[in-house]
Structure 1
């Protein structure tokens, strides 16, 4: 059985409460087979019995069972979240870094096409100014991702799937788990892309060579500063890798 870290436990409480209000026996059967935890569902002494008789301890049993599912395999948390979204949401799949069960918004972009590609839990989208002076910065970001042995980085110029670059940018942010935004030089494109990432609910890691370049609207959020020289880029690699490890699902429970 795997250890349940505090952040995972916080996620499970509203999930268990939601299940207690909405799940039927059929939902439990499907989820049991989907997660490989059918025996946990069927062998729990109270879950299906409480559901059948409408007993008050049904929500408690739901939380206990979903906790056992995630302890059995931490990857089951994502399967459970996806199942709830697919079967109980009217707004389509949740593509935010941390899917929530609270109020959501539904919108239909007119400037972009909504991608059909699946989410990539390992993808870090990099939004930064282009040009030779930022080549070393991008290499430092890619090195930080590599050090985690989980994440990998991509910029829009690494791909060419659409005739317009903004569609490739949106596709990259949409599919990503994390978005690194370099505010250096107050580049308007980066600000626009950071706004897209925030709206989509992505985890954004801001970096900058100058604190004065951070927009006042988001200055209250933490960001990483660096110098664009050998020592500074090495420090950026180390600090960014440290931050990414706290977001790595395979390591977060030990952080």
Structure 2
């Protein structure tokens, strides 16, 4: 269990200590396939009922065991707390940081199952023919550095396109955003990526297309011809290598 998962588990255990009653523990046990663990625990429900000082420690230990049994149970716990108590959410910052994590419980998106995939590069660009060869260059740069590259248009897991977009950004380690043409969808997707703490690599054919709020970030400028795309591929290889 990596550090980010442990932080999420500890956070959820604290919420459980604050809010749960006996029925909540039993319901959570049923949802996660760990009802026997809850019912047969020699101290958890007893210490809750009597207000014993060791309740918090038992609650933390049980939440950890539930998640260790099946990593998908982490999402079940988060959903249960959010739905029943209107608190919780998921720790969303995936970038290395010493700051406190941000939590959220989004109403527009569903939180995807699974964690960040260290070899995944997500590409956010306009959906039009002139960008197909640009994507091929990005894909080649990713492959050369041992990474794989996907666009939302290459997957269809949900009926809503924006859910596929969010899921792809959520799972990616690196997000390439092509701001050429000031595409509003790309602006929106870049905002999601920054909020999720992803490594965002801005690229553009025209520096004036970079939004004012992002002009202080470094970006890669390229020409959409064979020489320009080759240069972009080389620059991306170096950038991807540094971010791996």
* TM norm structure 2: 0.65
Separation of aligned partners in 1, 2:168 and 2:223: 27
> How many positions carry a matched residue from both structures?
169
Is the 1:95–1:119 contact (alpha carbons within 8 Å) kept by the matching residues of 2?
no
Q: What SS is found at the alignment partner of 2:181?
A: helix
Q: What residue in structure 1 maps to residue 235 of structure 2?
A: 239
Q: Deviations over 1:172-228 (max 9, x none)?
A: 000110100000000000000001111111110000000000000010000000000
Q: 1:85 offset after TM fit, Å?
A: 1.4
Separation of aligned partners in 1, 2:168 and 2:213: 24
Which consecutive residues of structure 2, in runs of 5 or more, have no partner in the other structure?
13-87
Q: 2:206 aligns with which of 202, 205, 210?
A: 210
Separation of aligned partners in 1, 2:118 and 2:203: 21
Q: What residue in structure 1 maps to residue 111 of structure 2?
A: 114
Label 1:95 to 1:152 Cα distance change in 2 as closer, same or farther (>3 A).
farther
Q: 1:107 offset after TM fit, Å?
A: 1.4
Q: What residue in structure 2 maps to residue 223 of structure 1?
A: 219
Q: 1:118 offset after TM fit, Å?
A: 2.8
**Where does 1:29-178 land on structure 2 (aligned, <5 Å)?**
79=2, 81-82=3-4, 84-90=6-12, 94-149=91-146, 151-178=147-174
Which consecutive residues of structure 1, in runs of 5 or more, have no partner in the other structure?
1-33, 35-78, 249-255
Q: 1:88 offset after TM fit, Å?
A: 3.0
Q: In proportion to residue count, which structure has more strand?
A: 2
Question: Which 4+ runs in 1 deviate beyond 2 A?
Answer: 86-97, 99-102
Is the 1:97–1:203 contact (alpha carbons within 8 Å) kept by the matching residues of 2?
no
Separation of aligned partners in 1, 2:8 and 2:104: 17
Q: Deviations over 1:49-74 (max 9, x none)?
A: xxxxxxxxxxxxxxxxxxxxxxxxxx
* TM norm structure 1: 0.63
Separation of aligned partners in 1, 2:166 and 2:125: 14
Q: What residue in structure 2 maps to residue 182 of structure 1?
A: 178
Higher deviation after alignment, 124-133 or 84-93? 84-93
Q: What SS is found at the alignment partner of 1:89?
A: helix
Is the 2:92–2:103 contact (alpha carbons within 8 Å) kept by the matching residues of 1?
no
Is the 2:120–2:171 contact (alpha carbons within 8 Å) kept by the matching residues of 1?
yes
Q: 1:83 offset after TM fit, Å?
A: 5.3
Q: 1:230 offset after TM fit, Å?
A: 0.2
Q: What residue in structure 2 maps to residue 26 of structure 1?
A: none
